[in-house]
Amino acid sequence: MNPTDHTRQNTFEETLLSARRTMVLSEILKLAVDSFRSSKIRFALTALGMVIGTASVILVVTIGLTGKQFILEEIEKLETNSVELEYNGGGAIGVERTVFNDYLTREDEKAVLAQLPGVMYSSPVMEMHTPISFGRGVVKDTLVLGVSPQYQQIRNLIMPAGRFLDDTDDFAHIKCAVITEKFAHDRFGSVDSAVGQSFEISGIPFTVIGVFKESGMGDFGMSEIQEQTILIPYSVERYFTGTENVKQIYFSMHNMDEVTEAASEIKRIVQARHRPGSVYSVQTLKEILKIAARVADILTAVLFLVSAVTLMVGGVGIMNIMLANVRARTREIGIRKALGATNREIKYQFLAEAVIISLIGGIVGIAVGLALPLSIRAFTDYDLPISGWSVVIALVAATSVGVFFGTMPATRAAQLDPVEALRDE
């Protein structure tokens, strides 16, 4: 045989082998479909586990993304462009190591504003506690904060009634106050009735010009605002405390991208104005935003792994049903082997059945899992986040479960002795 004839012979054999494989694959799929048609109820019950598993994967990811979106939106309401500067303590000087205090002042705020052009808003926070009469002999220790008018923008405060402090109140030393909703209810009965009313701080009458509340969920435990809090002009509170010292100073930047660099620069400017041993700290919500996003991602991953257990349970169900299927179809397997079917073809037949059951269950489960968030999107104003990756992962997971848990029953079917199989009744 010349080389040309040999090449033609190889090409013919390869083409024949390819055609045979195609025929075998189509036959395997046809046999799988025929098997499902003959036992529809068993097929549906077997696929049910995968439906529940894949639907739970979609819903868990949707719930995780929704929670993450909610948390990030709540944090962003707190003005994530802000930088909080606070005095943490002094050092010691001299041979006797005398401890000194080096508090922040309004001059520090002015120095930062002069050297850092990116600041949009700023406000000092002066703090004191004083007993306030709530009537009927009830006196409560109440937090009074001295702030500037820009404190509202920095802390993103909402005004359910009245107005916030303005520049005139601060410059003219007006005895006015903005109170929390809790204070308004406890002292005056309601939010609306509080505006225009008066109360005394250390014997000096103050007029309520507004009622405020914090946006979202507050400052995640770091807010200086309490349930019973009164805000008055900084210039007025300074006379009560008798000092220029402030508890903290807030700065708000134009852009969140500027916050990290601005925080370092603010600390440098203030540190240069005070003694070397003084300790000042800066805090930003940008780091909290990153941490919250990371925590939400981890929780979503954990929930996803928990939901994957449901997929494993569905896979075990597929394996048990396929093992029972192999036992029930032992004679059929013997006849197919007697007619020339190879172990590989038998194995592929039963493996294909397991994969098809798992895949169909997965597709139905994805449809069920997407139905809830899509319905909420269609009939409400809330836009639930839907991840395309969750669909891909659920589909791949369903197929993988079918292959993994279908391999053992398929291998057992392929290893049956045809003679013993034909004897099975």
Same domain, 316 and 419: yes
Same domain, 249 and 297: no
Q: Does residue 6 lie in a domain region?
A: no
How far is residue 236's CA from residue 241's CA, in Å, rounded to a whole number? 9
Q: What is the pLDDT of residues 338-368, one digit of tens each?
A: 777 778 878 887 888 888 888 888 888 888 8
Q: What is the pLDDT of residues 201-225, one digit of tens each?
A: 988 999 999 999 987 555 555 578 8
| Range of the structural domain that residue 366 is part of | 30-73+292-423
Same domain, 110 and 259: yes
Q: Which amino acid, one-letter code, is at 131? A: P
Q: Which amino acid, one-letter code, is at 21? A: R
Q: What is the pLDDT of residues 249-262, one digit of tens each?
A: 999 988 777 888 89
Contact assessment for residue 309 and residue 391, using Cβ atoms and an 8 Å cutoff: no
How far is residue 113's CA from residue 125's CA, in Å, rounded to a whole number? 16
Lowest mean pLDDT among 20-29, 211-220, 282-291, 325-334: 20-29
Looking at residue 35, what is its pLDDT?
65
Same domain, 347 and 385: yes
Paired residues of 98 in beta bridges = 93
Contact assessment for residue 151 and residue 250, using Cβ atoms and an 8 Å cutoff: yes
Same domain, 177 and 44: no
Q: What is the mean pLDDT of the chain?
A: 80
Among all chains, which residue has been given the structure tokens 């944090």?
Answer: 75
Contact assessment for residue 310 and residue 397, using Cβ atoms and an 8 Å cutoff: no
DSSP 104: B
**pLDDT band at residue 75 using 50, 70 and 90 as cut-offs:** low
Same domain, 167 and 234: yes
Looking at residue 101, what is its pLDDT?
72
Same domain, 235 and 344: no
**pLDDT band at residue 96 using 50, 70 and 90 as cut-offs:** very low
Q: Does residue 11 lie in a domain region?
A: no
Is the pLDDT at 233 greater than 80? The verdict is yes
Most confident region among 3-7, 12-16, 45-49, 184-188 by mean pLDDT: 184-188
Three-state SS for 82?
strand
